[in-house]
A and B are shown apart, each in its own frame.
With several copies, the nearest count.
Chain A
Amino acid sequence: MNELSQAFSTALTLLVGLDSGLLEIVGLSLRVSGTALLLASVVGLPIGAALAVYRFRGRGAAVVALNALMGLPPVVVGLLVYLVLSREGPLASLALLFTPSAMVIAQFVLITPIVAALSRQVVADLWSEYEEQLRSLGATPGRALPTLLWDGRHSLLTTVLAGFGRAVAEVGAVIIVGGNIAHVTRVMTTAIQLETRKGDLALALALGIVLLFLSLLINAGVSLLTRATERRA
């Protein structure tokens, strides 16, 4: 257990020292997961909202499938993306394997179902309140979607933060498609796994603490930002 106290002091040293190696890894983590989250939100929020609003045969099945996809294992996502991007895969020509772009794609695939499934529930709750009124006003489902996403933005924030958490914390997918190459595709979680393999649990934990601290900063920033915007509105 003295690794734990050692981990905290190492984490502190890392945070204070901000050495360039750490900054590089942290920067890539945020870039990759941030981009994946952006894309997943752009795709997942409308999908979730659409599943809440449109009525069609098989909607129930689609919702069940989406909920099940929240249990997509990162390693499986990694393998799928790996096969698609590999030399023998259909997108080989893009030469994306072992680049940060491949990691973005993998995390995007991983978290889009999560963002979509959670936002479906949020939007469905709002829709049950708004449905008759919006239909009465002549809003087609297509016109209702942006309204619902906008009016539900506070609740959807938690959804998006859940997606970010999943992306920034996962290692199974990015290590397969990124390869954990030093200075190229090494991110916080792959570095943590590496130190764990090496048996340097204190350093691994310290990196974990740094990652959590970062998540905390980002969440706090988002929270302050939302409050500030609300106050203005």
Chain B
Amino acid sequence: PLAAETPFLTVASTTSTEDSGLLADLLPRFRAVSGIEVRVVAVGTGQALRVARAGDADLLLVHDRPSEEAFVAEGYGIERVSVMANDFVVVGPTTDPAGIRGMGDVAQAFARIAEHEAIFVSRGDDSGTHKAELRQWRHAGIDPTPASGTWYRELGRGMGGTLNTAAAMQAYSLADRGTWLAFLNRAGLDLLVEGDPRLQNPYSAIVVDPERHPHVKAALAQRLVDWLVSEPGQAAIGAFQVGGERLFVPRAELAPGP
């Protein structure tokens, strides 16, 4: 059969879903039941929103609640559907110069890092993760930006690039658990802080509104969303593991959001 005959839809997504390997695991299952091919364009959060806003994608899959709400409010998307979550973790050098290993409160951990002026690398790219990181600094009552270029380093890179840099610099950083678990170049980095409820990281799917962009394949996109929140979809999300660890939490298990 010609490839052109296969119905497909285009998803604009952040890199974490692609880089963690989740989508590569889920999408063939979806295709098997639906016959629909899903093409994933994994880019920065802002770029994903921009691509979806232009109608160049049919479905948006991101993790930055304020932007998602704005996207829907401005009429680009039909509805925000919570799909799953993972959480953020604080990673840092095995030697842990700021001594934050095992702390349960991120704000305190960040305060320690700032106090020690231990090197911290920030994504610095306005992504969902970056915004989550900035929230933690606010909770800690610290404004790191004046220190930018000294111990606080704003990279302006994706999660993978940031982790590569953190590994080489022996720096602290905030990462999403999915990317961290799937990440291979950990060289001397450890997971140091996890479990703070503030570190929850919910992902939503939004079908691009066909009233705004008549050409979008809203029906196909809706089928993917429906499958993702369906019993088998949620089971597949919950079952996805890397190195024996579960990366994403099905939405049913989520605590009500902040």
Contacts and interface: CB of A to CB of B under 8 A. Distances in A.
Interface string A69-101: 000000000000010001110000000011000
Nearest to B14: A197
A180 B157 contact: yes
B168 A197 contact: no
A141 interface: no
Contact of B56 (A87, A175, A182, A190): A87
Interface SS of chain A: helix, strand, loop or mixed? Answer: loop
Q: Which 5 residue pairs are nearest across A and B when measured between Cβ atoms?
A: A197-B44, A197-B160, A199-B46, A199-B185, A199-B50
Contacts of B169: 97-98, 179
A201 B185 CA distance: 7
B39 interface: yes
Interface stretch (B81-89, B148-156, B196-204): B148-156
Interface stretch (B110-118, B119-127, B223-231, B247-255): B119-127
Interface in B175-209: 182-188
18 contacts: A82-B168, A87-B54, A87-B170, A87-B187, A97-B168, A98-B56, A179-B10, A180-B156, A180-B157, A181-B41, A182-B155, A183-B148, A190-B156, A197-B46, A198-B45, A199-B51, A199-B160, A199-B183
Given A180-B41, A184-B39, A191-B156, 20 more contacts: A87-B187, A97-B56, A176-B164, A179-B165, A181-B39, A181-B41, A182-B39, A182-B124, A182-B154, A183-B148, A184-B153, A194-B157, A197-B44, A197-B47, A197-B161, A198-B44, A198-B125, A199-B51, A200-B46, A200-B184
Interface residues of A, number: 25
Given A87-B55, A197-B46, A179 B41 contact: yes
A186 B165 CA distance: 14
Contact of A200 (B18, B121, B154, B185): B185
B155 A181 contact: yes
Interface of B: 10, 15, 18-19, 24, 39-51, 54-56, 121, 124-127, 148-149, 153-161, 163-165, 167-170, 182-188, 213, 215
Given A97-B168, A180-B157, A182-B148, A199 B186 contact: yes
Nearest to A88: B54
Contacts of A183: 148-149
B168 A198 contact: no
Contacts of B10: 98, 179, 181
Contacts of A186: 156
Contacts of B39: 98, 179, 181-182, 184
B184 A198 contact: yes
Contacts of A87: 54-56, 168, 170, 187-188, 213, 215
B164 to A, nearest CB: 6
A162 to B, nearest CB: 28
Interface of A: 82, 86-88, 97-98, 175-176, 179-184, 186, 190-191, 193-194, 196-201
Contacts of B170: 87
Contacts of B41: 98, 179-181
B42 A199 contact: no
Contacts of A190: 156
A150 B61 CA distance: 53
A197 B213 contact: no
A198 B126 contact: yes
- Chain B CB count within 10 A is highest, among A82, A181, A200, for A181
A117 B185 CA distance: 35
B46 A198 contact: yes
Contact of A184 (B149, B157, B187): B149
A190 B125 CA distance: 11
A197 B159 contact: yes
Nearest to B20: A198
Nearest to A182: B154
A176 B50 CA distance: 12
A179 to B, nearest CB: 4
A19 B24 CA distance: 18
A88 B215 CA distance: 11
B52 to A, nearest CB: 10
A130 B50 CA distance: 54
Nearest to B122: A182
A86 B168 contact: yes
Contacts of B155: 179-182
- Chain B CB count within 10 A is highest, among A88, A98, A191, for A98
Given A98-B10, A182-B24, A199-B48, A194 B40 contact: no
